[in-house]
Structure 1
Amino acid sequence: MQFKLSLSSWQLIACATGFGLSLPLCFLIFESLQSDPEVFAHLWDTVLWDYIGNTLILILGVALLSCLIALPLGWLVANCEFPGRKHFEWALMLPLAMPTYLIAYVYTDLFDYAGPVQIALRDFFGWQSPDDYWFFDIRTLGGAIVMIALVLYPYLFLIFKTALKEQSPKLVHAAHIMGQSPIQSFFKVSLPLARGAIAAAIALISMEAMADFATVSYFAVSTLTTAVYDTWFGYYSLTAAAKISGIMLLILFVAIMVERYSRRNQAVFERQSQITHEPLYYLTKRKALAATLFASSILLIAFAIPVFVLLGYAIDYFTQAWNSAFFEYAWQSLKVSAIVSFATIVLSIFVVYFQRLTPSAWSLWPGRMASTGYALPGTVLAIAVLLPLTFIEGKLNVWFDSSSWQPGLFLSGTLFAIIFAYIVRFYAIAHGTIEASFSRISPNLDMASQSMGRSPRQTLTSVHIPILRRGILTAALLVFIECMKELPAALLLRPFNFETLATHVFQYVSDEQLELASVAALFIVIVGLIPLYFINRSMEYKH
């Protein structure tokens, strides 16, 4: 007897996915509303406002610096012709493959008092002690802003560059006819038209900046992310940690609402142009040289120098770094990432296909509910996931209290906790990619398949899946790489004696011994380059 999925079955799976993946957030909100008069009140009266202030400064600083880097680069690459432009178009996205804590360690090692930069300066100028000269301290809040922005600016660069290429060049030509210079047309035409795309990219960058744990922890900068970690492990108060997590979510919600409110009466209508329009400006001589130097400097600082330093470490310490621990942790990381990638792809296909079968406003809710986890920083996610898991474990252990067998921590104390947390956090990536791929499939194919007597399941497997292969591969790769790089959730949820490459490398970073994990660090970076390659090829394919 052939198994067939009815419409009610698609609805059940989609709703179960939305409910299950939004459950941690619901538990987190509920837990944050519970009373905890001692720990949270103590934090509120002492250090919490400093944490909030540092977090806001970090978010605003990273967003501002990312704009200063990405907006000029995006405009140059999209609208100007200069030496190396075609290479910079994809190369400037490479820093996305670099975990922030790696670039933070590399530059700390370079700029510390005992680092090669200050040693060279002392030798050249004859300085004898720190009192003879001033040199900036990179392990500060300002240093953390620079390090995080160097890794996150490609989000804004990619989105802004694409938005500029989709704008009609006739609008810029009209501005020129009206006497506007290139700079004036940028601020008065290109930038306002791309405001929505810029806001979306800045929102993403802000979420990633607030979620960063490794860099701020390594630089000893107190933010709400580190406060959650310290409250959990220092005060052993899950409720206080949940309250701090609620503050972080409130900051994100307010920021998004303010931006949307500022655009409430703004609407932009334009005829989209082909994404391959010719450059609007051909830079020559000094301007061309300045554009090339600017793009080269950013690429050198954000990617090339850290990679060359890591490569040097790997060569010098190859014997110590290339060991059985590396292979064990690499296998564990690959295994978890593969499981999560497969699970998110399958779930997102079910949910998005349900939306396609029943096109209505309410059918979008399971996908939206399931995607809420992406807004949760890693430390917050860990708490949010533990709450329902420990609740279930507690109820079952009470249920079996009279028997000789006790389930114990069969969820929160096993690999299931990490896998579930990763699915909650990265489902949104798979859902967005699969949804975009489904939207490009004509409904006529569904009707043709239905007229031939095929069920929804048969239509999905024989018609849609083959067409979706490219989107599925892209989504799987993006989720896979995010899982490989995820650190705070793995640190907090890993079972006893379980390490991933990210936790393995970070432990050596914390001990100032990255050299001994340099091969693992390079492996994370190299694997992170894979989705960037496919994304670039996909964009070329669209051209």
Structure 2
Amino acid sequence: MHSGRGWSFASLLVAALVLLPLIALGAAALRGDASLWPHLLQHVLPPTLHQTALLLLGVGALVIVVGTGSAWLVSAYDFRGRALLDWALLLPLAVPTYIVAYAYMDLLHPIGPLQSGLRAVLGIDSPRDLRLPDIRSLGGCIFVLGFVLYPYVYLTTRALFLMQSATLIEAARTLGAGPRTVFVRVALPLARPAVAVGASLALMETINDIGASEFLGVRTLTISIYSTWVNRADLAGAAQIALAMLAVVAALLLIERRGRRSQRYNTAAQRARPMTPTRLSGAAGVAAFALGSVPVLLGFVAPALYLVERSIARLRFAGLPPSLLDATLNTVATAAAATVVIVALGVTVTYAARVAPGPLAQASARIAGLGYAVPGTVLAIGLLAPLGAFDRWAGDLIEGFVGGSIGLLTLGSGAALIYAYAARFLAVSAGGIESGFARIAPSIDHAARTLGETAGGVLRRVHLPMLRPALAAAALLVFVDCMKELPATLLLRPLDFETLATTLYGEAARGTYEDGAVAALIIVLAGLLPVLLLARVGRRAAETLP
């Protein structure tokens, strides 16, 4: 019992560390000049909220249409190439939104390869005589984010479509309903909870985005927070804008939670034989494959091929950029250190809930998972004040002993960045590890404790060896997420410290696309690993359906 209390205390401490930046954010906003609020309400929040709302509406509509349509296509129909599309539709998840925006900015530039090639085919010399709509616009940002984030809806909706009862579909067909009516009147209403869950996740990624929105000229709440702190050094103003952003995130979380409740109800009610896909052959099968390939081409293939071509051109012309090796080492070292910390914290939280179940452990686990829903920019702004205060206190204390200045301990060493990664991605680690613990029977714990092992001994000698696959999968997901994270990295990195993400961000801001292409390609190749893992897990789950 005593050891259980120790694990509960450790879990509570982890939850407090996750909650700290949110509490500090509120305190920083309240400490700010009260006169800032009228200025924000009149001049800053209305345009940014308007742009953010339009972006969320546009991206939400696009991910729902593309994600749900793709999920129904591969679930309800069988055609040549369906197995390929089944996992290929996940590939856009491997590419961060800011990389796709970076690629399309050059691809669709008035003198870029697409428009130049189109004018050459049509025999037009001047770019002024034929110009496609500017990608640097709200519509362009919706296009980019929508075709990168639709897999969130595809994943959740496809899983529900696969579990839908064949009896319902066959009954509708018996009553004379055609394929379109079956989808609109039967399948889609049952899938609405899954659509809501996937769409809310995509929208939370949208509101966390900073690179794509800034590259494409859309001033969202995230951009306002970043520019308020970086350009004007106004922490209180950035914190006040961040509070408005948290209200938007809370609304998205509410939608997601309601969707999950309904989803559990719907799936629990349907344990019958899953529906059999309708076979399509000939022209219909070709058309189905072509239609399903469009999201993959736009969300992954086109930007990936561009990155490969630009990377080859850069390497042939001038070799590797001199700073790329340093940026790669910084990225790998920081992501690896953060992964070790995050996986250890994930084990702590999930094991505490196992050895000391109760309201305290459950509340701690929920609080510890809040960080994933909070945008990286908000977490970073919330950490600046408490970590800055800690650095000043520790600096004064150590200076009194050694008689010299040691600089910034956390903000100057990268520790702040690891803290932000831990708060942001702890839910990813805990979720994977929790699923691993669920496969270990409680009787194994009881047997080990009967033989005199402590709770820590059971974890070390019994659980950790059995959890190796879950720990490895969780570590892979966390590592790649840390590699791709841009908003928190921009705000909390030490001076003269570049990662692959910030290197790409800087090159895109300067318009030197070839120099940033190699960094972008490395991030994409790393991102493919968890996507392939996810596709493999999805195929296994589909094979085990009754």
TM over 0.5: yes
CA–CA distance in 1 between the matches of 2:17 and 2:160?
A: 35
Deviations 1:22-54 (A, max 9, x none): 111111122223342344433332232110110
Pairing 1:17-416 to 2, within 5 Å after superposition = 17-127=14-124, 129=126, 132-133=129-130, 135-257=132-254, 267-268=265-266, 269-272=268-271, 277=274, 279-319=276-316, 320-397=318-395, 404-406=403-405, 408-416=407-415
Matches of 2:359 and 2:398, distance apart in 1:
43
Residue 531 (structure 1) aligns with: 530
Q: Give, in whole Å, the separation in 1 of the partners of 2:468 and 2:163.
A: 25
Matched AA of 2:409: F
Q: Distance in 2 between matches of 1:158 and 1:537?
A: 13
Check the 8 A contact 2:167/2:275 in 1, yes or no: no
Output the CA distance in 2 between the equivalents of 1:431 and 1:192: 32
1:342-366 deviations in Å (ceiling 9; x for gaps): 1111111111111011222331111
Question: Structure 2 vs 1, CA of residues 261 and 151 (structure 1 numbering), >3 Å: closer, same or farther?
Answer: closer
CA gap of 1:442–1:273, structure 2 versus 1, over 3 A, is farther
Q: Secondary structure at the match of 1:504?
A: helix
| Alignment partners' CA distance in 2, 1:214 and 1:352 | 33
Q: Deviations over 1:276-316 (max 9, x none)?
A: x5633112334322210111222112111111111111211
Secondary structure of residue in 1 paired with 2:46: helix
Looking at structure 2, the residues matched to 517 and 334 of structure 1 have their Cα atoms a distance apart, in angstroms, of 17
SS in 1 for 2:410: coil
Q: Which moved more, 1:312-321 or 1:212-221?
A: 312-321
1:179 shift after superposition: 3.1
Superposition deviation, residue 242 in structure 1: 0.4
- 8 Å contact kept, 2:60–2:199: yes
- Determine if contact 1:5/1:456 at 8 Å carries over to the other structure: no
> Residues of 2 paired with 1:527 and 1:70: CA distance?
24
- Work out whether residues 93 and 149 of structure 2, in 8 Å CA contact, stay in contact via their aligned partners in 1: yes
- Write the distance in 2 (CA, Å) between the matches of 1:183 and 1:211: 36
Is the Cα–Cα contact under 8 Å of residues 95 and 154 in structure 1 kept in the other structure? yes
Comparing 261-270 and 514-523, the one that deviates more: 261-270
CA distance in 2, matches of 1:31, 1:14: 26
Kept in 2: contact 1:39–1:237 (CA 8 A) = no
Contact 2:36 2:237 in 1 (8 A): yes
Question: Which amino acid in structure 2 is aligned with residue 257 of structure 1?
Answer: L
Partner of 2:417 in structure 1? Answer: 418
Q: Give how far 1:537 is off.
A: 2.2
Tell me if structure 1 keeps the 8 A contact 2:165–2:275. no
Deviations 1:118-176 (A, max 9, x none): 22333344445455445211100110111111111111111211122223322322332
Check the 8 A contact 2:166/2:276 in 1, yes or no.
no
Q: Aligned with 2:150: secondary structure? A: helix
2:457 is matched with 458
- Counterpart Cα distance in 2 of 1:323 and 1:122: 33
Q: Report Cα offsets for 1:408-464 as digits up to 9, x if no partner.
A: 421222210111111111111111111122223222222233333332222222332
Instruction: Give 1:384 shift.
Output: 1.3
After superposing the two structures, state which structure 1 stretch, 12-21 or 180-189, moved more. 180-189
**Deviation digits for residues 43-72 of structure 1, max 9, x if unmatched?**
332232110110111111111101111101
Instruction: Tell me the distance in 1 between the aligned counterparts of 2:408 and 2:262.
Output: 52
The Cα shift of 1:407 comes to 5.1
| Distance in 2 between residues matched to 1:407 and 1:139, nearest whole Å | 44
Q: 1:535 to 1:7 in 2, by over 3 A?
A: same
Residue type at the aligned position of 1:393? D
**Counterparts in 2 of 1:84 and 1:355: CA distance versus 1, 3 Å:** same
- Aligned counterparts of 1:452 and 1:213: Cα–Cα separation in 2: 54
Shifted more, 254-263 versus 72-81: the winner is 254-263
Sort the Cα spacing of 1:316 and 1:449 in 2 relative to 1 into closer, same or farther, 3 A.
same
2:85–2:292 CA contact under 8 A, matched in 1:
yes
Q: Distance in 2 between matches of 1:200 and 1:259?
A: 5
Cα deviation, 1:180-199, whole Å, max 9, x if unaligned, reads 32322223332233332222
5+ residue gaps, structure 1, are none
Deviation per CA, 1:92-122: give whole Å up to 9, x if none: 1111111222221222212221122322333
Deviates more, 1:463-472 or 1:409-418: 463-472
TM-aligned CA distance change 1:78 to 1:24, over 3 Å: same
Residue 446 of structure 2 is aligned to residue 447 of structure 1: yes
Displacement after TM superposition at 1:216 (Å): 1.0
CA distance in 2, matches of 1:24, 1:203: 23
Q: Distance in 2 between matches of 1:263 and 1:7?
A: 31
Distance 1:35 1:522, change over 3 A: closer
CA distance in 2, matches of 1:400, 1:534: 47
- Shift in CA distance, 223/321, structure 1 to aligned 2, threshold 3 Å: farther
Superposition deviation, residue 223 in structure 1? 0.9
Q: Structure 1 residues 89 and 15 mapped into 2: Cα distance closer, same or farther (>3 Å)?
A: same
SS in 2 for 1:46: helix
The AA in structure 2 aligned to 1:196 is: P
In the aligned structure 1, how far is the partner of 2:91 from the partner of 2:479? 17
Long gaps (5+) in structure 2: none
Distance 1:34 1:174, change over 3 A: farther
Q: Distance in 1 between matches of 2:498 and 2:406?
A: 24
Q: Which moved more, 1:128-137 or 1:292-301?
A: 128-137
Tell me the SS of whatever aligns to 1:449.
helix
Task: Give the Cα–Cα distance (whole angstroms) in 1 for the partners of residues 258 and 368 of structure 2.
Answer: 25
2:31 is paired with a residue whose SS is: coil
* Alpha-carbon RMSD: 2.4
Structure 2 distance, partners of 1:170, 1:444, is 39
Matched residues, percent identical? 35
Aligned letter for 2:24? F
- Residue 326 of structure 1 deviates from its aligned partner by 1.8
Q: Distance in 2 between matches of 1:62 and 1:257?
A: 18
- The separation in 2 between residues aligned to 1:98 and 1:70, in whole angstroms, is 17
- Partners of 1:265 and 1:480 lie apart in 2 by 32
